[in-house]
A and B are shown apart, each in its own frame.
Chain A
Amino acid sequence: MTEASERRTDAQGDWEPRIAAFLCNWCSYAGADLAGVSRIQYPPNVRVIRVPCSGRINPLFLVKALQSGMDGVLVSGCHPGDCHYISGNLYARRKFALMKSLLEYVGIEPGRVHFSWVSAAEGVRFAELLHTVIESVRELGPAERMVRRVEAMP
């Protein structure tokens, strides 16, 4: 189920990064939605996974996404203090800080793993965030580390 993904390319055959974005339902997903309805342009490299709260995101989701061949991962929730569930994002913040550090420690390029906060009103911020994330992943090139290599198996 998780072989190295075939590489996504654009019309010219150039590599395009693929990003998994875990967005909380109440703020960041709504922010992405707003970007959409406001016709703010953002690149199509992202696969959005809507979750109830950033606190719902098991940090292993990120590792699993990388293993499945995503080139980068973005997690975004409500700004601290604005969590629909009061404190979900505040617990999550501790977990993310640790996971981000651990992944970098073992050698996963820091530019592949991003955490941020986007509110429901921040359509522009969402689009800009995506640009930032995609560019940082693009700079690194296709993901190699952590990607499952079934073809390497006997």
Chain B
Amino acid sequence: MTEKKEGTKPETPMDARIVSKEDLIAALTALAQDHTVIAPVDDRTGAVFAPTQDAAAVRLEYRNTSLSPKAAVFPQIETLLAFQDGVATETLPEPPETVLFGARPCDARALAMLDRVFQRDGIDDPYVAARRDRLTVIALACDEPGPACFCTSVGGAPDDHTGADVLATDLGEALLMRPVTERGEALLAALDGARPAEAGEIEAAQERSAAAAEKIGRVPVPSEPARLLEAFDSEIWAEIAAGCLGCGACTYACPTCHCFDLTDEHKRGTGRRVRSWDTCALPLFTLHASGHNPRPSTDARLRQRVLHKFAYGPETIDEMLCVGCGRCVSVCPSGIDLRRILARLDGCIAGGGPG
């Protein structure tokens, strides 16, 4: 992952390129020869990130996918260890060089957050790292935000390039592609048909993103995350979580949720240790063998999810673990809306402490 960190942001106006949509499709097709290309393609839920060979099927105009592309680095299921006759061996992934094309800036930013989560405290998760090291992210700036978007309230923007190697903006007939890292620069340099962008085109891209930002609703986000703990014992959690059914849809859809389970499987001397996504929304997550559960109610579990993002994230990785993609709002079967929760918390704290 060293290459990633050393990558600097080149002076964008110098290096920005214009690629026609036709050339883009050709370029993705060429990339797919020796790369895995993960891109948004049509799905009954709108669009979904999937490995694709067919560059023509890639959607530029999609809204947020039902699931984030986090699986590119942190798949729902992966084998960590293989067992044979009582001996464990590591099964580190050796993925091909992979291009994640078309991630929205919020999703790209989430990948940067996951980097920090999985490299915390000097303990590097080698499985996530192996995928991340071989991943090039081409983010696609937003011009039409979705109905649940609130990235601008949590430090993001429709043209944020955090976590991306290249930031692309759809200009209609063509895309403006700006390198963000050396890896991105190298990818662009090899792009057939690209020409240097003109100042007017860069301006046009900025205008589009600015217009998109205008459309995104603002949500009050805690400026002093530590103060959220003042509301820890508040009764508002019971009210907020009253309709919560206790499923894990929000956490699995979330681009920054990263909790996991480790489970063994075996049959006649061979077996494996599997890592799978897990969710703080289910009671089993924290249930002790003794029967004691430190988070015995949906109130406590929903509180954990919200505070993990907005109070604990700033302590552990120095930023809120939310990119404002709005997926949790979109997928929640009982209509729980994180934006309303934040507004509620804001009122609670502003109103002189726990309500």
Judge if A3 is at the interface, Cβ distance under 8 Å.
yes
In the assembled complex, how far is the CB of residue B226 from the closest CB belonging to chain A, in whole angstroms? 40
Judge if B286 is at the interface, Cβ distance under 8 Å.
no
Q: Given A150-B272, A154-B93: A1 and B266 within 8 A (CB)? A: yes
> Cβ of B271: which chain A residues have Cβ within 8 Å of it?
1
How far is B269's CA from A1's CA once the two chains are assembled, in angstroms?
A: 10
Question: Nearest residue in B to A68 (C-beta to C-beta)?
Answer: B267
In the assembled complex, how far is the CB of residue A20 from the closest CB belonging to chain B, in whole angstroms? 16
Q: Given A1-B266, A2-B265: A154 and B272 within 8 A (CB)? A: no
B265 touches A1 (CB 8 A): yes
Judge if B57 is at the interface, Cβ distance under 8 Å.
no
Question: Which residues 100-154 of A sit at the B interface, judged by CB distance below 8 A?
Answer: 150, 153-154
Q: Name the residue in B75, B77, B79, B267 with the highest tally of chain A Cβ atoms < 10 Å from its Cβ.
A: B267
Judge if B78 is at the interface, Cβ distance under 8 Å.
yes
B75 touches A154 (CB 8 A): yes
B267 touches A2 (CB 8 A): yes
> Cβ of B93: which chain A residues have Cβ within 8 Å of it?
154
Main SS of chain B's interface residues? strand
How far is B272's CA from A2's CA once the two chains are assembled, in angstroms?
A: 12
B267 touches A153 (CB 8 A): no
How far is B78's CA from A154's CA once the two chains are assembled, in angstroms?
A: 6
> Cβ of A154: which chain B residues have Cβ within 8 Å of it?
75, 77-79, 93
**Residue interface bits B246-275, CB-to-A below 8 A is 1, else 0:** 000000000000000000011100111000
Question: Which residues 74-96 of B sit at the A interface, judged by CB distance below 8 A?
Answer: 75, 77-79, 93
> Cβ of A3: which chain B residues have Cβ within 8 Å of it?
265, 267, 270
In the assembled complex, how far is the CB of residue A138 from the closest CB belonging to chain B, in whole angstroms? 25
On chain B, the number of residues with a Cβ less than 8 Å from chain A's Cβ atoms is: 11
In the assembled complex, how far is the CB of residue B274 from the closest CB belonging to chain A, in whole angstroms? 8
In the assembled complex, how far is the CB of residue B36 from the closest CB belonging to chain A, in whole angstroms? 12
Question: Nearest residue in B to A3 (C-beta to C-beta)?
Answer: B267
B79 touches A153 (CB 8 A): yes
**Residue interface bits A32-76, CB-to-B below 8 A is 1, else 0:** 000000000000000000000000000000000000000000000
Return the contact of A1 from the options B77, B78, B79, B267 (Cβ within 8 A). Answer: B267
Return the contact of A150 from the options B75, B78, B265 (Cβ within 8 A). Answer: B265
A153 touches B77 (CB 8 A): yes
In the assembled complex, how far is the CB of residue A116 from the closest CB belonging to chain B, in whole angstroms? 30
Question: Nearest residue in A to B75 (C-beta to C-beta)?
Answer: A154
In the assembled complex, how far is the CB of residue A18 from the closest CB belonging to chain B, in whole angstroms? 15
In the assembled complex, how far is the CB of residue B338 from the closest CB belonging to chain A, in whole angstroms? 31
Q: Name the residue in B265, B266, B272 with the highest tally of chain A Cβ atoms < 10 Å from its Cβ.
A: B265
How far is B268's CA from A45's CA once the two chains are assembled, in angstroms?
A: 20
How far is B75's CA from A3's CA once the two chains are assembled, in angstroms?
A: 21
How far is B272's CA from A102's CA once the two chains are assembled, in angstroms?
A: 32
Question: Nearest residue in A to B274 (C-beta to C-beta)?
Answer: A153
> Cβ of A2: which chain B residues have Cβ within 8 Å of it?
265, 267
How far is B270's CA from A150's CA once the two chains are assembled, in angstroms?
A: 11
How far is B241's CA from A142's CA once the two chains are assembled, in angstroms?
A: 49
> Cβ of B78: which chain A residues have Cβ within 8 Å of it?
154
Question: Which residues 117-135 of B sit at the A interface, judged by CB distance below 8 A?
Answer: none
> Cβ of A153: which chain B residues have Cβ within 8 Å of it?
77, 79
How far is B263's CA from A150's CA once the two chains are assembled, in angstroms?
A: 14
> Cβ of B79: which chain A residues have Cβ within 8 Å of it?
153-154
Question: Nearest residue in A to B267 (C-beta to C-beta)?
Answer: A3
In the assembled complex, how far is the CB of residue B51 from the closest CB belonging to chain A, in whole angstroms? 12
> Cβ of B266: which chain A residues have Cβ within 8 Å of it?
1
**Residue interface bits A1-23, CB-to-B below 8 A is 1, else 0:** 11100000000000000000000
How far is B79's CA from A3's CA once the two chains are assembled, in angstroms?
A: 14
How far is B78's CA from A86's CA once the two chains are assembled, in angstroms?
A: 49
> Cβ of B272: which chain A residues have Cβ within 8 Å of it?
150
How far is B93's CA from A153's CA once the two chains are assembled, in angstroms?
A: 12
In the assembled complex, how far is the CB of residue B148 from the closest CB belonging to chain A, in whole angstroms? 31
How far is B272's CA from A88's CA once the two chains are assembled, in angstroms?
A: 40
In the assembled complex, how far is the CB of residue A65 from the closest CB belonging to chain B, in whole angstroms? 14
How far is B212's CA from A39's CA once the two chains are assembled, in angstroms?
A: 82
**Residue interface bits A79-100, CB-to-B below 8 A is 1, else 0:** 0000000000000000000000
Give the A-binding residues of B (Cβ under 8 A): 75, 77-79, 93, 265-267, 270-272
Can you pick out 13 interface pairs between chain A and chain B where the beta carbons lie within 8 Å of each other? A1-B267, A1-B271, A2-B265, A2-B267, A3-B267, A3-B270, A150-B265, A153-B77, A153-B79, A154-B75, A154-B77, A154-B78, A154-B93
A-B pairs, top 7 by smallest CB distance, nearest first, are A3-B267, A1-B267, A1-B265, A1-B266, A154-B78, A153-B77, A154-B75
